[in-house]
Amino acid sequence: MKSMIIKYLLVLAIIPFVIKCYSSKEISISKEISIDKLLSQNEKHRLALDNIIDGTIYLENGNYNLALKKFQNALNFDSTAGIYYLLAKAYLFNNKLNLALQYANKAIQLDSSSSEYYLLLSDIYIYGKQKQNSIVVLEKAAEKFPENHYILIKYANYIEENRPLQAVQIYEKILKVVGNDWNILTRIIDIHRRLGNLDAEISSLERLLKLHPGNTSIIKNLIELYILQKRNDEALVLLEELLELNPDDVFARLNKLQIYLVNLDWKNMEDEAKQIISTKNTDFNLLTELGYFFIERSFAFPEALNIAKMIYEKLDSDTSHWQIKLVLGTIAINQGEYEKAIEYFNYITENARWNLDAWVKLGALHYDNKKYLEAEKILSEAVELFPDEYLINFILALSLSQQGKNEIAVKYIKKSFELNPQDVNTISAYGFILNQINQKDSAIYYLNKALLINSEDVSVIGTLALIYNEKQNYQISDSLYEKALIINPDDPIINNNYAYSLSTRGLQLERALKMVEIALADDSLSAAFLDTKGWILYKLGRYEEAKYFVEKAVSLDSKSAVLIDHLADIEFKLGNQKKAIELWKKAFEIDPNKKEIQEKINKGGI
Res 336 pLDDT > 70: yes
Of 420, 430, 507, 437, residue with least CA distance to 463: 430
Q: How confident is the model at residue 11 (pLDDT cuts 50, 70, 90)?
A: very low
Q: How confident is the model at residue 297 (pLDDT cuts 50, 70, 90)?
A: confident
What is the C-alpha separation between 539 and 278, in angstroms, rounded? 68
Q: For residue 452, give Cα distances in angstroms to 318, 440, 466, 477, 478.
A: 53, 18, 18, 18, 20
Res 579 pLDDT > 90: yes
Give me the residue spans of the domains in the chain.
1-111, 558-606
Q: How confident is the model at residue 103 (pLDDT cuts 50, 70, 90)?
A: very high
What is the C-alpha separation between 445 and 244, in angstroms, rounded? 73
- Identify which of 13-27, 47-61, 292-306, 506-520 has the greatest average pLDDT: 506-520
Query: pLDDT (tens digit, 9 = 90+) per residue, 447-484?
Result: 999 999 999 999 899 999 999 998 899 999 999 999 99
What is the per-residue DSSP string for 217-280?
HHHHHHHHHHHHTT-HHHHHHHHHHHHHH-TT-HHHHHHHHHHHHHTT-HHHHHHHHHHHHHST
Identify the pLDDT of residue 21: 43
Please tell me which residue, 203 or 468, carries the higher pLDDT value: 468
Least confident of 317-331, 382-396, 403-417: 317-331
What is the C-alpha separation between 94 and 88, in angstroms, rounded? 10
Mean pLDDT of the chain: 86
Res 24 pLDDT > 80: no
What is the C-alpha separation between 328 and 103, in angstroms, rounded? 77
Res 180 pLDDT > 80: no
Average pLDDT over residues 290-306: 79
Identify the pLDDT of residue 392: 96
Q: What is the CATH number of domain 1-111?
A: 1.25.40.10
Identify the pLDDT of residue 544: 96
What is the C-alpha separation between 459 and 465, in angstroms, rounded? 10
Chain center to CA of 468: 50
Average pLDDT over residues 425-433: 91
Query: pLDDT (tens digit, 9 = 90+) per residue, 528-550?
Result: 999 999 999 999 999 999 999 99
What is the C-alpha separation between 587 and 560, in angstroms, rounded? 7
Identify the pLDDT of residue 161: 84
CB 417 within 8 A of CB 436: no
Identify the pLDDT of residue 227: 83
Please tell me which residue, 317 or 440, carries the higher pLDDT value: 440
Q: First and final CA of the chain: distance in angstroms?
A: 139
Q: Is the dihedral of CA 566, 570, 575, 579 positive or negative?
A: negative
What is the per-residue DSSP string for 201-234?
HHHHHHHHHHHSTT-HHHHHHHHHHHHHTT-HHH
Identify the pLDDT of residue 102: 95
Of 407, 408, 427, residue with least CA distance to 416: 427
Least confident of 297-311, 439-453, 504-518: 297-311
Half-sphere exposure for 515 (CA within 13 Å, toward CB): 26
Q: For residue 66, give Cα distances in angstroms to 71, 78, 93, 334.
A: 9, 19, 11, 83
Identify the pLDDT of residue 526: 95
Q: How confident is the model at residue 280 (pLDDT cuts 50, 70, 90)?
A: low
Query: pLDDT (tens digit, 9 = 90+) per residue, 134-171?
Result: 999 999 998 999 888 889 889 888 888 889 888 888 88
Identity at 406, one-letter amino acid code: N
Classify residue 404 as left (phi > 0), alpha (psi -120 to 50) or beta: left
Residue 574 is classified by DSSP as: T
Res 56 pLDDT > 80: yes
Q: How confident is the model at residue 12 (pLDDT cuts 50, 70, 90)?
A: very low
Least confident of 139-148, 276-285, 362-371, 414-423: 276-285
What is the C-alpha separation between 434 and 19, in angstroms, rounded? 112
Res 273 pLDDT > 50: yes
Res 183 pLDDT > 50: yes
Identify the pLDDT of residue 27: 32
Identify the pLDDT of residue 1: 39
Identify the pLDDT of residue 29: 31
Share of the chain above pLDDT 90, in %: 50
Least confident of 4-18, 372-386, 494-508: 4-18
Residue 22 is classified by DSSP as: S
Identify the pLDDT of residue 369: 87
What is the C-alpha separation between 36 and 430, in angstroms, rounded? 126
Please tell me which residue, 388 or 254, carries the higher pLDDT value: 388
- Identify which of 212-216, 299-303, 599-603 has the greatest average pLDDT: 599-603
Average pLDDT over residues 337-363: 88
